[in-house]
Amino acid sequence: MRIYQALSALLCYPEPDLLAAADDIRAEVAAEPRIARLLEPLLLSLEGEDLITLQERYVQTFDRNPSHSLHLFEHIHGEDRARGQAMVDLLAEYQAQGFEPAGNELPDYLPLFLEFLAQCQPEEAVRLLSDAVHVIAHVAGKLADSHSHYAGVLQGLVLLSPVAPEALTVPPVRDMDEMLETFGPGADGVEPLLKPTRPAIAPVNFYPQRPQG
């Protein structure tokens, strides 16, 4: 579904190509009026502000505020070792569908996840989105609390899911040690870089299981 590609683009770091595509994105989401209304403040911002301002705001919003992180597993696993395995399982899901992530982003990076959904069959995309909707809604709420126009993008994703989001527990402290151990350092020695492995496929779970009892 191309709407996933449109939403993915809006969550990426602002570049001239994105600003020039604002009308194309409007046309792509026009069939979903509720989503179109949610996106309009961000689209107007992209059209009306200079690129440097937009880029600085993006960095402030996502890179300097862990509660707004676009890395989905960061909000539900934190320092737990389950986070590394969740990355491996999601990467295996991508590869099983013939999707090879480009660049150095971790597999749970939301714009990358949306690019993957755009290539899935509609019923499979809805299934995966419905599993991720709980953490997506959590981040949407944090962005809305900060009066960020980016909240509308994640709120639009929530509308695309037939599953009502459930509340997450308080997100754990951000920690990259587990990712560095699992994936190895990137070229700069800081950010994780995916190793070219093809792990066994396991069910992807974006929502922590409740304890039994």
Task: Name residue, tokens 């714009």.
Answer: 111
Which pair of structure tokens corresponds to residue 98?
Answer: 């013939």
Does the pLDDT of residue 211 top 60, yes or no? no
Q: How far apart are CA 151 and CA 141, in angstroms?
A: 7
The whole-number average pLDDT for the span 116-124 is: 94
CB 206, CB 131: distance < 8 Å: yes
**205 — pLDDT class (breaks 50, 70, 90):** low
**79 — pLDDT class (breaks 50, 70, 90):** low
Q: How far apart are CA 119 and CA 131, in angstroms?
A: 17
The whole-number average pLDDT for the span 173-202 is: 46
- High-pLDDT (> 70) share of the chain, %: 77
Considering the entire predicted model, what is its pTM?
0.80
How far is CA 104 from its chain centroid? 15
pLDDT attached to residue 139: 96
**50 — pLDDT class (breaks 50, 70, 90):** very high
**41 — pLDDT class (breaks 50, 70, 90):** very high
